[in-house]
């Protein structure tokens, strides 16, 4: 991470929040363009081996309130994304990569004071990058219409 100016602690665990710089955002710009999303960058997070994000719901950090969040995830090792489903049950999704094939996935969920989707992340091995976007209701509906559900 160099001199420390390109990242800071994310605040919910031991992940690092990548600071805005031309080195980090080309991937975000390309993703925004391919998704058809404008001015919606939320953040970019780096989780190194053994890093985690505690259980949290992004309840008070949505801007504007009551929007959707999309995270594009890639990792070089093994990690677990856990969340509580609508019935309050904990669902754990293993994100497993091999040297030949990195893991790639997407997560879409509603955020806001009345839309709490508690989730956590634990990285066992390798690196995990997570790029976040804020979505409008219309864009979330469009993307969810094209999504493939991979749990339950």
What per-residue confidence (pLDDT) applies to 23? 55
Sites in the chain below the pLDDT cut of 70:
1-13, 18-28, 36-42, 59-66, 112-115, 149-152
Going by C-beta distance under 8 Å and a sequence separation of 6 or more, which residues neighbour residue 77? 49, 97, 123, 124, 125, 126, 127, 128
pTM: 0.76
Residue among 131, 135, 140 at smallest CA distance from 17: 131
> What is the torsion angle, in degrees rounded to the nearest 10, for the CA atoms of residue 44, residue 127, residue 35 and residue 91?
-100
């Amino acid at each position: 991470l160099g001199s420390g100016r390109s990242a800071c602690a994310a605040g919910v665990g031991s992940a690092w929040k990548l600071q805005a710089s031309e080195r980090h955002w080309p991937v975000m710009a390309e993703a925004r363009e391919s998704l058809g999303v404008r001015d919606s960058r939320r953040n970019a997070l780096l989780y190194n081996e053994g890093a985690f994000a505690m259980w949290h719901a992004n309840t008070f950090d949505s801007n504007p309130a009551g929007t959707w969040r999309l995270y594009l995830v890639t990792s070089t090792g093994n990690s677990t994304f856990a969340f509580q489903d609508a019935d309050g049950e904990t669902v754990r999704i293993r994100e497993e990569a091999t040297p030949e094939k990195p893991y790639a996935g997407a997560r879409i969920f509603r955020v806001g004071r009345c839309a709490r989707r508690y989730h956590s992340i634990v990285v066992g091995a390798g690196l995990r990058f997570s790029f976040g976007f804020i979505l409008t209701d219309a864009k979330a509906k469009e993307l969810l219409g094209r999504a493939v559900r991979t749990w339950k």
